[in-house]
Structure formats: structure tokens, C-alpha cells
Chain A
Amino acid sequence: MADLSIEFAGIKAPNPFWLASAPPTDKQYNVERAFEAGWGGVVWKTLGEDPAPVNVSSRYSAMYGPNGDVIGFNNIELITDRPLEVNLREIEDTKRNWPDRALIVSLMVPCEEESWKRIVKLVEQTGADGLELNFGCPHGMPERGMGAAVGQVPEYVEMVTRWCKQYCSMPVMVKMTPNVTDVRFPARAAFRGGADAVSLINTLNSITGLDLDRMVARPIVGSQSTHGGMCGPAVKPIALNMLAEIARDPETHGKLLCGIGGVSTWRGAAEFISLGATSVQVCTAAMLHGFRIVEGMKDGLSRWMDEKGFARIEDFRGMAVANTTDWKYLDMNYKVIASIDQDKCINCGRCHIACEDTSHQAIDKQLLADGTNLYTVKDEECVGCNLCEITCPVDDCITMVAQDTGLPYMNWTQDPRNPFRE
């Protein structure tokens, strides 16, 4: 079996599956249950200065798929609402009980040097393995000058990171907010400030939906709502892209990364790791199904690694980064054409209507004598957009087949059709 253990900024963990800073990691009781279930590490729910914040009632809402499955999960909770002293005591206790697991503590205090200095020293005394600076929380806390309000200003990110590194000897990871136009800027700032790693993404500003009878967004507090932070499968594509942006940015390439955002299966974890993450953080999937999900994630990842011949996480980590590039470096001479496996076709007509109405009129419909339709690709019209393959409900019925054009690799910078070619 593949070895899932990792080392993250000197912190050892038996596997790369960590629980993100969130309600599941707010108390010793929960965290110990998670460790019993097999999680490799946790990021303790964000600590702040006393007095602890007070939460409202009615805190979560969701975006559902057609089968009622949650594809996006939104919350308006603040950082821990328990006294700092209680959390510190429980962190110390938990770390003592579970020395082999990664225990990282998330922090968020006002943007003042004294505040950060005080709290990092307190955390260091607990024996915790490292810090995660919460510069990402997009709801509630930014109104008080914290969370995403810091993460959106690279200069603040750099400054606070530097303080933390200055006043403690623990590894420091900076959690990025996705509510920015270009995540590379705060990431560069974090590393300039001395961060050992960045973790991303935190939640996205969101309104999941409305109660149209009461004319108010969800979650509903009285007769009002406020935007929350969204996570879950719907944000995974955004997280993967931001991770890749940082992984392939010349200034931050090769830096230590922790992937967060919609990881709910082993495959999702493998994707984040392939784009450079050393560990992944999970929250929504655990909140929906309980801590037991880690078992299947570990098993699935391990079996897939065995199948691929990867003995350790490091063996495939970052392998997809080099294949993620700018549009202008894509091969203009590459060509795929849709191919329909007629034995698998169930006659739903979705490929035809999608192509006919919205794309390139490249799928022909012909009525057969038995009353069924025959759908065929017009090769000369097909531009290889993949839409038919995407809308086809049958696995491997429509495949995109690479054509041998006999032409060499030629990107846009080399293409004679490019009017701005140098």
C-alpha cells in the first residue's frame, strides 16, 4: 500500500487529510473524534481575542443539485465563540493525547502588532504544531477590520505574517481569501513576509438563494440575511485554479501549499496534490456526512497511487503544474473531433440539440425506419469543443478523438494568424 504520510513545514502527519478551521474543529471533543476516525491533522477553529464573538442563530444555507445533494454550502458564523483560555487548554490537551497528528491553530486578531505578539506566544505554549493566519473569512469579521479585510491588502498580509514569524518559532501558514481579483498578489506578500506555506481557498462571498415568499436570502435571521462564505463542491474549480496560479507563478513556484475547497473524495484530494498541494483541508463533506468519510478517502487515494505506481505523496505532487499554462502557449495545431459510439447511444438527442442550437451544427439527426433517430458527427463542422461529450448522459458514448494533423506544435505566439506576433 502507498505511504500517505507527509511532512509539511516540518510537521509530520500520517496522511494529507486535514480538517479545515471550522465548526468541526472548534472543540477538543470534535477534534479527538476526528483523530479517532483517522484524520491526519486539523486546523483548530480560529481563535481571537477575548471577549469571544457572539454568533447569531440560523447560520448555514445551501445550494442543492437536482437530487437534493448539497453542491454549495454557505455560512455566516464568526470565529470561535468560546473563551480563549478554554480553547488553549483543550489544544494543549489534545496535542498531548495525539502527538502523531498535525494540530495547527488558526488565528485572527486585530491588525496590531501587540495583539498578534500576545496570541502567537500563547499558542506556542500549547505545543501546537503550527499557525494558520485567517486572512480569509469573508463575512462578519471584515466589518471589524479582520479576516478578508486583511487578506485583500497584500501589504497587511506581509506585515502580519512578518510579526507572527518574528514572535514565534512555529511554522506559519497564511490562508488566502478568494475574494480578490488576483490571488497571486496576497500569496507573494505572504511569502515575502516569511510564511512557510499558504492555504487556499477560504470561502467565497455568496448568497445561496432566496426565500421568494419572504423576499429574503438564506440563511434567514429574523426577516433579514447577510452574505455568507460559500464552500463545498461548487467552489472546487475556483480553488484549483487559484492553487495552480500560485503554483506556477515564478515568484511563488515550489512554495509549500495546502489545498482547500470542495474536497469531498479521494479524487478531489489527488487533484489538489497534483496541482502542488502537500496536504488538503476538508470541511463541508465532513459536516454533511461525519468524520467517517476520511476512511474512504484514504483508501481510495492509496489504491489509486498503487495503481499508478506512486509510493509516496511526493511522487505525484505537482505533476500537473507544468501542464497548466497560459492560453497563448496552447498548441494551435491540436485537433479533436467528437465520435459517437452508436452501440452505446440511447437516442436522447441531447448532443444534437446542444450542438444545433448553441454551437456548430455538427451533429446530424436522421430518422430511421424503426422510428429512432441516428445521430452522427459531421467531422468537417466539428471544432472539438467537447459540448456534446459533456451533455451526453452515457459514459464513454461520445469521446473526443485526437486527429493526426501531421502538423508540429505551434502556439499563438508563433501563429502567422496572430496579428501581434512578434
Chain B
Amino acid sequence: MIEPLKHLETTQVEPEQLKARFSDIAPPLTERQAALESARCLYCYDAPCVNACPSDIDIPEFIRQIAQDNVDGAAHTIWSENILGGSCARVCPTEILCEQACVRNKADECAPVLIGLLQRYATDNADTSSHPFTRAQPTGKRVAIVGAGPAGLACAHRLAMHGHDVVIHEAQPKAGGLNEYGIARYKMTDDFAQKEVEFLLGIGGIEIVYGSALGRDISLSQLQADYDAVFLAIGLGSTRTLALGHEEAPGVMSAVDYIRELRSTDDLTTLPVPESAVVIGAGNTAIDMAVQIKRLGAEEVHLVYRRGEEAMSATGHEQALARDAGVQIRTWARPDAIELDNDGRVAGMRFVRTACDENGRLVDSDRSFTLQARAIFKAIGQVMVSDDLAPTLEISGGKLLVDEKLRTTLSGVYAGGDCTGLGQDLTVEAVQQGKQAAESIHQDLMAAGDH
């Protein structure tokens, strides 16, 4: 139930149309398409695409395997560096990563090899009747992981491969983290996140305890005492506030919370949908929110950002997606006040026009405008909830401080994913950090065992 919007009506869009609007945004390649596309890869040496991939996948190799009709081999190449290669194939902003670096972008062609879709082709079509990786001899070591999102899952899989036993504590009723709860529905369809988790757990040696939240059900000090190492992959648990009056009024909610419901529901027609909505923010979550509420039937959707388009963290591809969906993008405007109707519910939002001064600082102008809106979605970033962490764990810029080995300032406690200050909070980066943390934990545990 979406409490802040319960006064709104549900969507008027026909179920069949809704289904179409939330079907796969980038349909998978057929066998023929994959053959043709893979033949376009130049099999570069020291390939720019690999250097641009946060998770070190040997892209030319897996594409050559597809071209040679070795789909299982291609998937193995992907999974050996990125066990969540299937979801990354769907959600990675390839336009700023591998595909941007593809040499076929240059000069006369301007058409990169469709690396993301090829990765999806390999991981979707490989034979997974038996898990493709095996576990090393049991080490007798036990590792606790907090959070079953991409970082936690990737770490767990690599630790299990090394022969360690892993217990993941997950606060939600399902694993997958933002893959399950945070990705636009048309980017990952058909319960893929859960299928991928099942596949990953196929290696064995990983137990997930659901509904187990740090600070409520478990404590860091207890985990430290009970396990040989702890990996924190707690993500960002809370949405930033606008710091305006009426922020608790019906009609105001966090985009992340709405998207969670949108992804979780079996029936999109039960979702409350405003006639008009304002989305505040400039990242991919803001875009996902604006596009999805538009597709759900909101007639007018404004995405408002206080700076210009070039400063938006959503990629150009994502911005185009929003425009194509009919979302109005308004830049250089700052939320100033939430306006309510006589019943105390959201009726609109007033904005102050902004500008940059000569020092590049954002300043208010003397102009303002008001947008009618029955709902306001906040997508101005998430923050880490740090109340439940040990006071000795050092935090920098609101995130956990880790070294290059993903070690926190507490011995035996490691961290990765969005809760650290590394990278741009991409799924693929979380996977990489989880994998690297597992290697560090393994090294440290085995070195300790030698004494």
C-alpha cells in the first residue's frame, strides 16, 4: 500500500496497454541478430570496452564466443568476472561505459557493437541446468554479509567459490536489492532479479536470512563476534528530504518507495496514479520515476532540476527516454514550497528560478512559477543510514570509508556497493566491489589461517 498517495485514484489505463507499456524496453536479440552483431566486434587488443567496464569482463572474448556459437562459454566468460552479468546487461548505462568506448563509435561508423544486448543474449541463453562454477574445498571460515543487493550477492558468490560459508542478512523479504526493488519495471521484466538470485545461489554454501535488519535484528558487534569476517553492503536506506514545509502531507513521497511498490505489485492497476506529478531530481531514479508514472497514466509529468541538463547525472540516453515518454524536463528551478488544497493534500509546487553566478554557484533569481501536481516524488538522492553502525566505523561524506581492499576502519569488517564512497553507485560497480571484497576477505582469512 502506498500510504502517501492512498487518496488518489488508480490508473485509468487499460490493463493490456499497461502490459505493453511495461514490457521489455530493449527486447533481447534473436539468434540471428546476435550472430550478426557479434560479427561486428573487432576483437580489439587491450580493448577500450574492457577498460571502460567496471567489472573487468573480457568483452571481446565473450563476443567472439557468441560469434563461434559457444553461448555457454560466452556466459562463463561474463560470469567469471560478473556473476550478476544478466542484470548488468539490462541496467548498465552502457552508453557511458563499454559502448561509449567501443572503437566502432569512432570516425565513419558512430555505431558501437551492442555489447549490453550481446551480454544479455549470452547470459539468457546459456545452459544453467547445472551451476557453472564449483566450490573449493571447505575452509571452515564463516562470513556474514549484510544486504543481499548486487554487492552482497557478488561477494557471497565469490566467497562461496573460495570454500567459505556465507550467511546474508537481508532486511527485505526478497533478495536482489535495487535489482528487485529499484529498477524501472520495463528494464528488468519477468521476475528476472529473483531468477538471477536463484542461479547465483546454485553454487551452494550461501544462506540468506530474510527480514533481518541491522540495528533491529542483528548488531555489527554480534556479527563480528559470531563470524570470521563481515561484509557490509547495506546500500542507502533513506531518501534525502527537501527541507520544505508540508513534506509529510499526503501526495509527497520518495520515488524509491513508489518504485519499490511498482516493482513488487502483481497488478499495476492497483497503483494510485496522480493526474499530474512533479518529480524532483536529475538522476536515473528521477527519470525512472517520471517515465513510469507517465506510462501508468499520469497526464502531466514534470521533472524539475535546479541546474542545467548538462549537469544531470541521468545520461543523455535516459533523458531522451523521458522526453520520448512525454515527460517535461524543467531545468534551472528549485523547489520553494509545497502547495496544498483545502483538504491538506498536495495540489502543486512552487519553484524559484535559479541561475549560476560568475563563480559557478547556484543562486536564486527573483522569478518563480507554480506547477499543478497531485503528487510530488522526491528523487534527490539517497543517504546511508548510519545509526546502527559501530561508532568506531569511520564515515566520510556520509558513506563508509574503505581502503583499496574494501576494508573499513574496523578490523575484519569490509564494505562495498552504494554505502561506500567509491564510484557512481552503479550496479556493475557494486558487483565489482563485492567481488573485490570477497578476494580481500579470502586473502586475509587465509593469511590469518597460516599463523
Contacts and interface: CB of A to CB of B under 8 A. Distances in A.
Interface in B161-188: none
Instruction: Tell me which of B35, B39, B48 has the highest count of chain A C-beta atoms within 10 A of its own C-beta.
Output: B48
Contacts of A365: 46
Contact of B45 (A67, A353, A371, A372): A353
B121 to A, nearest CB: 16
A394 B106 CA distance: 10
Interface in B383-417: none
B35 A350 contact: no
B54 to A, nearest CB: 14
B36 interface: yes
Given A67-B39, A68-B35, A68-B36, A352 B45 contact: yes
A373 B46 CA distance: 9
A67 B103 contact: no
Contacts of A66: 39, 67
B403 to A, nearest CB: 23
Contact of B103 (A68, A348, A352, A353): A348
B35 A346 contact: no
Contacts of A68: 35-36
Nearest to A351: B45
Contacts of A352: 45-46
A393 B35 contact: no
Interface string B45-77: 111100100000000000000010000000000
Nearest to A397: B107
A300 interface: no
B107 A394 contact: yes
A63 B107 CA distance: 32
Interface in B66-125: 67, 103-104, 106-107
Contacts of A347: 44, 48, 103, 106
A89 interface: no
A371 B51 contact: yes
Interface string B255-296: 000000000000000000000000000000000000000000
Query: For chain A, what secondary structure do more than half of its interface residues adopt (helix, strand, loop), or is it mixed?
Result: loop
Interface centre among A67, A349, A352, A393 (most CB of B within 10 A): A349
A352 B44 CA distance: 10
Nearest to A353: B45
A344 interface: yes
Nearest to B32: A68
A243 B48 CA distance: 45
Interface residues of B, number: 16
Interface in A238-296: none
Contacts of A394: 107
A67 B44 contact: no
A284 B44 CA distance: 33
Nearest to A348: B44
B369 interface: no
Contacts of B36: 67-68
Most buried by B among A67, A346, A365, A371: A346
Given A66-B67, A67-B36, A344-B107, A350 B51 contact: no
Contacts of B321: none
Contacts of A353: 45-46
A61 B140 CA distance: 58
B103 A346 contact: yes
Contacts of A349: 44-47
Interface string A324-352: 00000000000000000000101111101
Given A66-B67, A371-B51, A372-B48, A346 B39 contact: no
Contacts of A350: 42-45
A90 B271 CA distance: 77
Contact of A393 (B39, B42, B45): B42
Nearest to B39: A66
A267 B51 CA distance: 41
A348 to B, nearest CB: 4
A263 to B, nearest CB: 25
A291 B107 CA distance: 37
Nearest to B52: A371
Contacts of A348: 42, 44-45, 47, 103
A142 to B, nearest CB: 35
B51 A346 contact: no
Contacts of A373: 46
Interface of B: 35-36, 39, 42-48, 51, 67, 103-104, 106-107
28 contacts: A66-B39, A66-B67, A67-B36, A68-B36, A346-B103, A346-B104, A346-B106, A347-B44, A347-B48, A347-B103, A347-B106, A348-B44, A348-B45, A348-B47, A348-B103, A349-B44, A349-B45, A349-B47, A350-B44, A350-B45, A352-B46, A353-B45, A353-B46, A365-B46, A371-B51, A372-B48, A373-B46, A394-B107
Given A348-B42, A350-B45, 19 more contacts: A66-B39, A66-B67, A346-B103, A346-B107, A347-B44, A347-B48, A348-B44, A349-B44, A349-B46, A349-B47, A350-B42, A350-B44, A353-B45, A353-B46, A365-B46, A371-B51, A372-B48, A373-B46, A393-B42
Interface of A: 66-68, 344, 346-350, 352-353, 365, 371-373, 393-394
